[in-house]
Amino acid sequence: MLILAILFTLIGCSSRDEDLVETPKDEYITWKLNGTQYQNGTIYKSIVAGDFEISEGGQNLYLEVQYSGNVSVGQTFTNQNSIVRLGYEYPDPANDIKFYNASVTITAITSTYIEGTFIGSNAKEVTPSGVETPINKIITEGKFLIKK
C-alpha cells in the first residue's frame, strides 16, 4: 500500500514538475483603485541608497520613498518616518491625485530585486495651480517588484 501511495505521488507530480520550476522574477506593479484592479504598463524606476522611485506608464501611477539609512525586510515607510509620495495623473496630466496617507512595506530584498506592498488613502485632486480638493479615492492591495 505504501509503495502504491509513493508511486501515485510520483506519477501525480510528474506532470506538474514543470510548473514547480522557479522562474526569474519579473518587475511588476499592481494595485486596486477603489476596488478596480490595475497592473503593469511600462515601469520606470530609480534606486539610490535607501531611496527608490517607481513610475508606471499605463495609468501614470507613481510611488516614491525617500529614506536616509538602510532598507530592510519588514520595514514600513510612512510620512512619519520618511518621505512617501503616492499618486497618479487624473484624468490626464492636467491634475494629480495625491494620497496623503500612504505607506510602503518592504517584503523582500535580494541582491537583484526589492519587493513590497503599498496602500494609500486621504486622496486629494491637485490642479496645476496647486488647488487641492478632497476626492473619494483609495489604493489597496498595492504590490511591486523592481530589479536593482
Helix (H) or strand (E) holding 62, with range, is strand 61-66
Do 60 and 54 form a contact (C-beta atoms < 8 A)?
A: no
pLDDT tier, 91 (very low <50, low <70, confident <90, very high otherwise): low
Q: Which grid coordinates belong to 120?
A: 494609500
Running DSSP on this structure, what letter comes out for residue 13? H
How confident is the model over 33-57, as pLDDT tens digits?
A: 999 998 877 788 888 767 888 887 7
Between 112 and 1, name the one with better pLDDT.
Answer: 112
pLDDT tier, 92 (very low <50, low <70, confident <90, very high otherwise): low
The CA distance from 15 to 23, in Å, is 17
Q: So what's the pLDDT on residue 21?
A: 40
